[in-house]
Amino acid sequence: MIRLGKKEDQNGLEALFDLCFPGEKSFTHWFFQKVWKPENTLLCGEEHIQAMLQLLPVQLRQGENHGQGLYVYGVGTHPSCRGKGLAGALLEEAREKGAEQGIDLLMLIPQEPSLFDYYRRFGYRTAFWVEERQIKARREEEGLLSVARPEDLPQVVELYRKALGSLFSVDRTPEDFSIQQELYGDKALVLRRDGRITAWGCIEPVGEAWRVCEALGPDAVRLAAAALDRVGAQEGLCRLLPQNDPRPFAMALPLTPVGEKLLEQKAGYCNLLFN
């Protein structure tokens, strides 16, 4: 049985998240406290939750073109229930729900490269890309790199939209950046020159290494190098806007002519969507 989530499902869903995505317990708890809403949840099962996914609203843009999307997030099945087609049934239900609501497209970020082929079976196609570059750490002049503050966020939004220009992307509001700032804490950074923010980025540990999971703006690489130096790393991987050698990052399923129009551009960008 597929149904919408209820408030009393929270503990069971959180436990299933921990089971499906191990090693992220603190993030999972934060997500269910700060982001999760029952009405954005599709699941299978009554007393025992067998499978789940989230449908998180996102705003899409390509230059002056705008659309409504749903981010299909946290697709997971209890180990004892795998191989029964439950995740596929939830994905089909998500498509129907999106169509009923007039949503322009569904999008998702495959957790593993092999899952791109799995989601293609449901009509998804690669629509978002990132460029990954190995960056060497470099110390920045004192005072230019700093932790992002709430009062910086309007400038960060402006920087983000200018950096993306007419590129097909997930739009971000100051509220979106506020959530990211809270999630990354002192690992959400800005770089200033002449009193203006010229780059925004976040850095996170990946095992024993560090990854700059996003760097945007004219000084993006400079921020990434300074961020790596800040955490004591010699070098690290940095995700940038797709340019010279992009790799597939996320997929989309258009549901309306607007969604199809948005996907005409083959190199969209999305990131930091709780991935």
Instruction: Of 79, 6, 88, 66, give the one whose Cα is nearest residue 40.
Output: 6
Q: Could you tell me what percentage of the chain is helix, strand and coil, using 3-state DSSP and rounding each to the nearest 5?
A: 35, 35, 30
pLDDT at 142: 84
Mean pLDDT across 219-224: 97
For residue 242, the Cα-to-chain-centroid distance in whole angstroms is 15
Three-state DSSP state, 74: strand
pLDDT at 261: 92
Three-state DSSP state, 167: coil
pLDDT at 250: 97
The sign of the dihedral angle between the CA atoms of 61, 54, 274, 181 is positive
Angle formed by the axes of helices 174-184 and 153-164, nearest 10°: 110
Task: Return the C-alpha torsion angle 215, 169, 184, 54, nearest 10.
Answer: -150
**Average pLDDT of the chain?**
94
pLDDT tens digits, residue range 186-207?
A: 999 999 999 999 999 999 999 8
Structure tokens at 51: 């499978």
pLDDT at 266: 72
pLDDT tens digits, residue range 231-272?
A: 999 999 999 999 888 999 999 999 999 999 999 877 899 999
pLDDT tens digits, residue range 23-79?
A: 889 999 999 999 999 999 999 987 789 999 999 999 999 988 899 999 999 999 999
pLDDT-based confidence at residue 1 (cuts at 50, 70, 90)? confident
pLDDT tens digits, residue range 98-147?
A: 999 999 999 999 999 999 999 999 999 999 999 999 999 999 988 899 99
pTM (2 decimals)? 0.94
Structure tokens at 140: 């920045």
Structure tokens at 47: 């007393």
Nearest-angstrom CA–CA distance, 104 and 61: 11
